[in-house]
Structure 1
Amino acid sequence: MRRKQLGRRIKLLRKERKLSQEALAELIDKSVDTISNIERGFASTRISTAFEIAQALKVSFTDLFDWVETVKQAPQQKAQAALVEKFRALLQGSAQATLADVAELTRAISEAASRQK
């Protein structure tokens, strides 16, 4: 069960960063089959591989195991978490951040500021 949860989390993070399985495999010097098996929960993941995946996805190691909170979150909390992740990517200088991400973050900040008044 935990392998599947970890696999789903890795897949979600990979897709958020617009990386293919091939690209992730290349970044960590593993085969596409390995990435596929990890994402489907068919293979145990070595800790060293999990660290490499986290580094390639530009997240902390513990972010890979953040599915517990994700599952329990309400839709608005999930949306907020996604915005935080986009903001984190921008702060880290991620090439994956797009103008649409910046616009979405700007809108969210503006809406939050309006609610504070």
Structure 2
Amino acid sequence: MAVYNNNTGPGLGSVGSYQVSGKPFAQTVTSSPVTFPSVTRWVKIINLHNADTNVGFSSAGVGGSNYFTVKQDTQTEPLELKVTELHFSVTNAAITVVAGLTGIDVGEIDDNWSGEPGVG
């Protein structure tokens, strides 16, 4: 007799996962990428490094033209992004990533959108 397991978690379209506060996450960037334990609700990058840093969603993006720049001694506003990792052109103890995490498993996003238009 077949057994059906109907125990599924929230997915990318789970609106409630983005309406509640996120589980806190903070990490100093010492290597790239920064990998999140679950899908993010929002991310914020604090760059206190003495140089600008490029931030992307794949190594190809940061190495190519699919990235955004966080100027030295600045920080982003909270960016509402569904990602599982961030890639950096510079890794330094003066760059910090803060995020709010959902309860959505990282397996819900294939390779953090790598290969998608605008991601690289």
TM-score, L = length of structure 2: 0.25
- Normalized per residue, which structure has more helix? 1
TM-score, L = length of structure 1: 0.25
- Normalized per residue, which structure has more strand? 2
